[in-house]
Amino acid sequence: MTAATGRKTKRIRFDEIGGFLANTIEDGDLLAIGGLFKQGRPLALIREVIRQRLTALKIISSPGSGFDVDLLIAAGCVAETFLPAVTLETHMCPSFRRAVEAGTITAHCVDALSVVGGFLAAANGVPFQPVAAWKGSDVIKYNPLIREITCPFTGEKLFATKAIRPKLALLHAQEADEFGNIRHLSTMTYADQMIARSADTVLVSVDRIVPSGDIISRPRETSIPCIYVDAVVEIPFGAHPTGSFPNYSIDEAHIDSYATYAEAARKGSPTGDANLQAYIERHVIAPQDQEGYLTTVGGDTRMEELVAEAQAL
Amino acid sequence: MMTTRSADHAPDYSPAEMQAVFLSRDLTDGELGAAGASAAIPMAAMLLARLRHAPNLSIAGEMFVNPYPKQLWSSMLDDRALGACEAAETFLELFAHSHRGLDFFFHNGMQIDQYGNINLHHIGGTIDAPVMRGPGAANISYAVTSRRFYICTTVHTKRTFVPKVDFITSPGYLQGPESYHAAGLQYGPKYCVTPLAVMDFDPETFRMRLKSVHEGISVDHVIAQTDFELLVPEHVEITDPPAPNELQLLRDVVDPKGLLRS
């Protein structure tokens, strides 16, 4: 048997992403981002969020984030973050630092257990997740997602971290069918499965769409079933400049060049802001599609290098 | 007494290699441990220990069990380092890992104080209005639930080694024995390993104490680079330099691209 005739596709075209975002998220809403640090981040979708001129967003993610959050902040899309670690690892995140230090965004003090616990509670349909592993840290004193509770069985003092239900989750994976069955080929999938179960609406970009029969032939490899996915869009190199293993590696040079612009802007260099905004114009606003974007970051030549780097691992 | 590393007697290994080798020796066969983000030195220490003297050491963070990276990377949490491993888990396993704890974990910090508390959140101002906002930290629970942790930092300056951190991201010994016990803490930092020296903690006062200085580094230099009163015993050893077989394994197998020498 194959999929029933008349089954609705969840596949959308690249030029339909803007309309999808307009219908599913508004200024001020909570947006969740999949992947971790420099892997599996849905950067093509993030660029569309910026192109839609969304503002005052609240951002949440798996416990590690960096480039995409910094770019969203530089583009003026963010009011609040609920992010445990924000770093480019080889650098700090310049726009994040600048905005928090200037008081233009609020960076809530949260950790991995509060964020992941919140996703887990929402995914399981319960109001909170208990946490017993916090002691001695100032993060507990300032974390807005948690409350102290008493264990109803032992009387032990512990914490509850409240369910987190993002308005929209943006994820990136390597493959999916048109019905929204997602298959990660990467070894690490981080919190993607949980985020998909916790959000009101889920949009996933994938490097390629595969036939439904291919998914059905290897169901244990479906990492996120279609029932948790609202739309899927094929975007080759859609995670660039982050990596989408085993297909292509991380474009560290591109992330470094962004960091140089953002750091100069943070330090108040006379041309800093103009150069950072020119970066956004060149790589985010001007390109009309993914092909147009890829030509701004080195085109086929650079993509082939990133493919080769991933294959050599 | 020399005040800095002297060029004509420069050791044939880098400070980061010294740190990795020292840490690897302290890891025991059969233990379970992990490291977080930006953790090339800790990952090198674990991989070297596994190769040299601890074949049953398990490296298991929240999402992976026993990785086999072909080289060190500045980031050790993506598929470049973790693509080949014995089990790929997800953040669903975070709670089990965090509550069960590990035998050892590694932390670094923008500020580290005399009681081994670590700050990755802000310097100056308040958490809501910081003068300088840091990256924050992902998993703060390992400082509480792991049997011991190591502080491993690539800088040892007065700016980093402060009397009292502006914000406690991960607790060490808080403000000493009283506050440590009052908070219900049971474990804490064992060693603080820097490019200059190895420190441990005085068992009575829980204050940081110089244990050894690396080859070519003077005690005075370490004191001068530390903005609190470091406890200094009468005899400070020289950190036992990497043995030829340690360096060979480190360079040939663990770090063939020389990340720890760059």
Per-residue pLDDT of A140-170, as tens digits, reads 999 999 999 999 999 999 999 999 999 999 9
Residue B38 is predicted with a pLDDT of 77
Task: Report, in this order, helix, strand and coil percent for chain B, each rounded to 5.
Answer: 25, 25, 50
How many A×B Cβ pairs under 8 Å? 180
Measure the CA angle with vertex A154, ends A149 and A157; round to 5°. Answer: 30
| pLDDT tens track for B119-173 | 999 999 999 999 999 999 988 998 899 999 999 999 999 999 999 999 999 999 9
B130 near B120, Cβ under 8 Å? no
Identify the closest residue of chain A to B94 by CA–CA distance: A113
Q: How far apart are CA B122 and CA B140, in angstroms?
A: 15
Identify the closest residue of chain B to A311 by CA–CA distance: B80
Q: How far apart are CA A240 and CA A255, in angstroms?
A: 10
Q: How far is B220 from chain A (nearest CA, A)?
A: 31
Greater confidence, B93 or B112?
B112
Residue A185 is predicted with a pLDDT of 98
Query: In A151-280, which residue ranges form alpha helices assigned H by DSSP?
Result: 192-198, 212-217, 252-266, 272-280
Q: How far is A89 from chain B (nearest CA, A)?
A: 6
Q: How far apart are CA A8 and CA B260, in angstroms?
A: 53
The full set of domains in chain B, from first to last, is: 7-261 (3.40.1080.10)
A62 CB neighbours in chain B (<8 A) are 91
Distances (CA, A) of A23 to A16, A72, A274: 11, 20, 32
Max Cα distance, chain B (Å) = 54
> 19-58 in B: which are within 8 Å (CB) of A?
37-38
Shortest CB distance from B138 goes to which of A111, A138, A193? Answer: A111
**Residues B88, A101: C-beta atoms closer than 8 Å:** no
Q: Which residues of B46-73 are buried (b: 16+ CB within 10 A; e: fewer)?
A: bbbbbbbebeebbbbbbbbbebebeebb
In the predicted structure, residue B2 carries a pLDDT above the cut 70: no
Cis check for the bond before B69: say yes or no (omega within 30 of 0): no
Identify the closest residue of chain B to A96 by CA–CA distance: B133
Residue B174 tokens, joined: 């808080």
Give the global pTM.
0.96
The full set of domains in chain A, from first to last, is: 14-109+165-311 (3.40.1080.10), 112-162 (no CATH)
- Which segments of chain A have a pLDDT < 50? none
- What's the complex ipTM? 0.94
Q: Are strands A57-61 and B104-107 parallel, antiparallel or unpaired?
A: unpaired
